[in-house]
Structure 1
């Protein structure tokens, strides 16, 4: 495949990021997706093939690592309870409740219960890249943004395990075993976490003894992409390995009197990488989406989108208001904002493309339905996040 179309897309991303300096009412990722949809009608761009490996092995490790090593260890410590719950038990409950809701409302389209769970599993990962900066600017309190970002970093790994189990049941009529599921989930997640923490610690020591900024950046590239692929080779979560490697690196930076020096050398490189990946990723999501959106169930897709918001709100509000330690931090209005901030994005698209790669008979409708719900989430939630956050966080 020629690299020229990607260079053109990168240049388009540069123009959009340069023009949209405020990034409030229309976050850049939303604009990129809409531009990508427009580009898909130009034959030159419609021929670009977007694959699950492209998203999973090229785009995700860089984005995950950048977010993880920038994430404040103090913020993670303060909000560890709610972040861990939402990214594990919360996402499992969401899949079950949303899957049941989809099964009920699918009506004439007659989705099976397992098919409904499959749709729900693809819609549960969150991608807050569009909203975190807005949440931080809307109020001096960064807690909401920290919870949204922390949940997203961890729930990507959880969502892959849940999706894989449900996909196996859907394609091969496997029986569901709670014991087998929990065993696989614990092995994949704990294994990925331990691999990430271990190698993150080792590489942080190597960075300490490497004084040249260029070499430190080289080490960080090896850590971000090497640990992801090593973990996947070992059969554990590459997503969680990369996330916790970045978090461990951040923790070790905090303990060093040279923290600013280390972060400056990495920020100058990974800041450019992040913007480049985001430009390509969301433009390609727009280009790819038109392959799925010519179908006659947009009404059902909208109902599923609304259901995903309601289910997420019920779980977040029900949980936070049931425990005093969380109720003191997050009221029901802030629970609404947390729910709205859970946009669907890159991980959902990866899961959709993973299902597509199976080329299983009868999955076309599920693919279109899920992609439509993802697109609705990107558009509607992106537009609404600024006024909603201003209303809730400044009242």
Structure 2
């Protein structure tokens, strides 16, 4: 422990420095992390960090999926549910199938069941990597919403494939009837347990005297409870976390204070950032042992690299084909959308972007590391080291090749040359939202406190503030009565914005940004 603890602290420090460097270079930090993981594998004498494969999912996946569920816009997911559903389920199954069939043909002794294990691992694109890369370029809001929604759901579908494939490898058989019943129970039970646990925690938040630290502590254990309980009932822990996280995110204004939301955002951002970094570096620490295992079975390293490159090409081609198939389906089955000006303008470019944004990352790494060391009969899991190595090659190539070329592709080929109109429309929407919010608050204050504000300097200044947005230089007017009214105003603003979010023309991201500003104002009020 005396040696391991300083080493882990050094890894965290390395993650921070690499992220700072990545921001200066204006590239996505997962690219440098995966390269650092590769570099670490060449350093001799480093301490070995062994994590039980059964604990990999439990340690890393629940918080990563939970944070993604809180970040995604449920409104946008509903809007684009057709294409999100097709990419999150149909495309994942299609990709895993292609990987299984082709690897069964090109890798000697590699069974179809092992191919589905590998396919389930590498089929889901990584939300963190895609988001980190696209933040340096401008893409349409619709495309961004699709990528976020897809990345949240495809983890669940791919890991279900992974689990069933592990069972097939372990038992040597696959009974479709039993698998279908198990699959249905994993879906229904996982979602149901996730929603139930979420409702229980909402009740705890609302009816116990929690403050910001206790609220944040509860949110940190919520995904682990959802995942663990679902797994105890042989359901999908991943779906439980996703469903429960979406419900908690949707209800966050009802049970979390402004202080809890603000402080929790910072805590979760740092927590997930460290988890992502540690997974990338852990695979680097495992690489020497993985390579040694491959060579011990008589396979040259160049051959294993070739398999990794081949699987990467399969993934890119499968996603490209799927993206253009989705476009053709839209043209055939939704002609009213296909003939719209926006769709026609980006008819060929959007599938190209969707096909090139398939970077793999943390979920694939965690799934690969979670492959058991042995089968139920005690034999070593076949081709485990090769599957781990191929997964690392896939992640390395997709992050470096696609990740570095995607911004260049968008900028130089002017794929979204008309995006300026989207920005203008967003600014116009934001302005109309703020004007409507100010007018609503002014009417609310005047109607509710018509009799109270006369003769009270604090309330009169509140009214003038919302009438003309004038700046008040002193804070002596903010007594208990004025503070109470300001808190009522903040609550009314949030209610107004929540109702406004039901309208299709307002992006949920804009609404959330405005609520964040209101939370900041409420926090500032505590120190006035």
TM-score range normalised by the length of the shorter chain: 0.7 to 0.9
Maintained 8 Å contact 2:89/2:154: yes
Q: Secondary structure at the match of 1:342?
A: coil
Q: 1:70 to 1:77 in 2, by over 3 A?
A: same
Separation (CA, whole Å) in 2 of partners of 1:287 and 1:189: 35
Q: After TM superposition, give the deviation of residue 385 of structure 1 in Å.
A: 2.6
Maintained 8 Å contact 2:190/2:236: yes
1:10 to 9, 12, 15: 12
Q: Secondary structure at the match of 1:357?
A: coil
The within-5 A match list for 1:1-395 is: 2-22=4-24, 24=26, 26-45=27-46, 47-104=48-105, 106=106, 109=108, 111-139=110-138, 141-177=140-176, 179-209=177-207, 210=209, 212-253=211-252, 256=254, 260-293=258-291, 295-297=301-303, 298-324=305-331, 325=334, 331-358=347-374, 359-390=380-411, 391=413, 392-394=415-417
Which consecutive unaligned segments of at least 5 residues does structure 1 have? none
Separation (CA, whole Å) in 2 of partners of 1:180 and 1:84: 25
- Please, what is the CA RMSD of the aligned residues? 2.7
Maintained 8 Å contact 1:65/1:246: yes
**Which is bigger in relative contact order (C-alpha 8 A, separation at least 6)?**
1
Q: CA-to-partner distance for each residue in 1:276-303, whole Å, 9 max, x for gaps?
A: 2122122222222343357231223212
Maintained 8 Å contact 1:122/1:348: yes
Q: After TM superposition, give the deviation of residue 9 of structure 1 in Å.
A: 0.5
Q: After TM superposition, give the deviation of residue 211 of structure 1 in Å.
A: 5.1
Maintained 8 Å contact 1:153/1:243: yes
Q: Secondary structure at the match of 1:138?
A: coil
Separation (CA, whole Å) in 1 of partners of 2:260 and 2:76: 20
Q: CA-to-partner distance for each residue in 1:232-255, whole Å, 9 max, x for gaps?
A: 12211111211222211111125x
When Rg is computed on C-alpha atoms for both structures, the one with the higher figure is 2
Deviates more, 1:326-335 or 1:379-388: 326-335
Separation (CA, whole Å) in 1 of partners of 2:257 and 2:138: 27
Q: 1:225 to 1:386 in 2, by over 3 A?
A: same
Deviates more, 1:309-318 or 1:338-347: 338-347
Maintained 8 Å contact 2:365/2:391: no
Separation (CA, whole Å) in 2 of partners of 1:290 and 1:331: 45
Q: 1:311 to 1:360 in 2, by over 3 A?
A: same
Count of equivalent residues: 390
Maintained 8 Å contact 1:69/1:250: yes
